A and B are shown apart, each in its own frame.
Chain A
Amino acid sequence: MGISRDSRHKRSHTGAKRAQYRKKRKFELGRQAAGTKLGAKRIHEVRVRGGNKKYRAMRLEAGTYSWGSESISRATRIVSVVYNASNNELVRTNTLVKGAIVQIDATPFRQWYENRYAQVLGKKKRQAAEDEAKAAEGDKPRSKRALAKCLARKSTVESAVDDQFVSGRLYAIVTSRPGQSGRCDGYILEGKELDFYLRKIRSKK
């Protein structure tokens, strides 16, 4: 490859140029970046130091995302990359890296929520569903006890997150390293973090 991670080629703290006294060693090696894109899953296995494995994801389309305040995780499809603090190029090319803000499919989370709390997510849909809900409460037959449990659970979803359910796409941040573990997992943005990134995304447009 030719990529090395040594510091022998760099100038020292005092500014002195260091003379080369040995060749590149294997333990100093670096490999090409993965540059994981969105698409049908393609993962390359790499043998690394010590005989261990790294899973270099070249293309991914889904990952496990957590909804922090509700403490659940679901596997979802990743729709697109929306923001990257380091490089706009990575947004344009839809490259998945740790710390990238992505849009994920909201359906597994909506299904879980509506199962648990028997409330509809998304304001616009709620208004339309209000008329339907009164009539069709028996869309999923629940026993009296299960229904009582459902109604006893109170839950408030932040309005910014609630709005995202209307479009069916949630903003999330990637917290795994796809080029190392082969997975693109993360968590759904909420609260101040969500405000921060929404502002960043809007100012870009």
Chain B
Amino acid sequence: MIGFLCPAWSLVTKLADSEYTTDGDPDFESVSHLAISTERSFQKQDAVFLNAKSVSKKNARWHKDIGLGFKTPAEAISGTYIDKKCPFTGNVSIRGRILSGVVKSTKMKRTIIVRREYLHYITKYQRYEKRHKNIAAHLSPAFIGVEVGDIVTVGQCRPLSKTIRFNVIKHQKKQVKGSKRFQKF
């Protein structure tokens, strides 16, 4: 029997990979009571009454199925964010057109620009030309890790702002070439 001396590994505690930028993020309030929330009004879901004497479940959360076969993300059901424009936990309904495109920019707060490419036919030359349109879509906090280049499905909803009439309802990460992931097509 070979006595194998295991050196005592010092416990290295990895720094929790949490985002320390608050950026007006109302979720931060729920992380710790001492957290400084930058929201000026209390964030809550309208559909949930928080002060019922008989508390059925701590921090009750309301969510809905948006229909058309789209699965509501786990983060929407179990998360703590409040977003009235979220299709799963807020007061918007998805109806009308369902489009998809590539994420072009994620710099705005809770909204993204989606780029849709298409071909336009020129009859005289019997050939096509590339055209594109940018759509501003609301991105719910239920979708985490949305980056430029990802494919996203957006559904039409009522106007949420001057340019936003769509809401992200499905998200698919960009396939990196050479990655071992099997792409089902």
Contacts and interface: CB of A to CB of B under 8 A. Distances in A.
Contacts of B40: 85-86, 200
Contacts of A196: 29, 37, 42
B108 to A, nearest CB: 13
A192 B162 contact: no
B41 interface: yes
A68 B53 CA distance: 9
A193 B43 CA distance: 9
B27 to A, nearest CB: 14
Secondary structure of the B side of the interface?
A: loop
A13 interface: yes
B49 A85 contact: no
Nearest to A12: B163
Contacts of A39: none
Contacts of A193: 42, 44, 50-51
Interface in B31-56: 37, 40-42, 44, 49-53
Contact of A69 (B29, B44, B52, B136): B52
Interface string B49-69: 111110000000000000000
B162 A10 contact: yes
Contacts, number: 32
A139 B98 CA distance: 68
A143 interface: no
Nearest to A99: B41
Contacts of B29: 196
A85 B51 CA distance: 21
A68 B41 contact: no
B51 A190 contact: yes
B51 A69 contact: yes
A86 B136 CA distance: 26
B134 to A, nearest CB: 8
B53 A156 contact: yes
Contacts of B44: 193
B115 to A, nearest CB: 14
Given A86-B40, A193-B44, A197-B42, A13 B136 contact: yes
B104 to A, nearest CB: 14
Closest 4 CB pairs of A and B: A85-B41, A85-B40, A190-B51, A191-B51
18 contacts: A7-B162, A13-B134, A13-B136, A13-B162, A69-B51, A69-B52, A85-B40, A85-B41, A86-B40, A99-B41, A156-B53, A190-B50, A190-B51, A191-B51, A193-B50, A193-B51, A196-B29, A196-B37
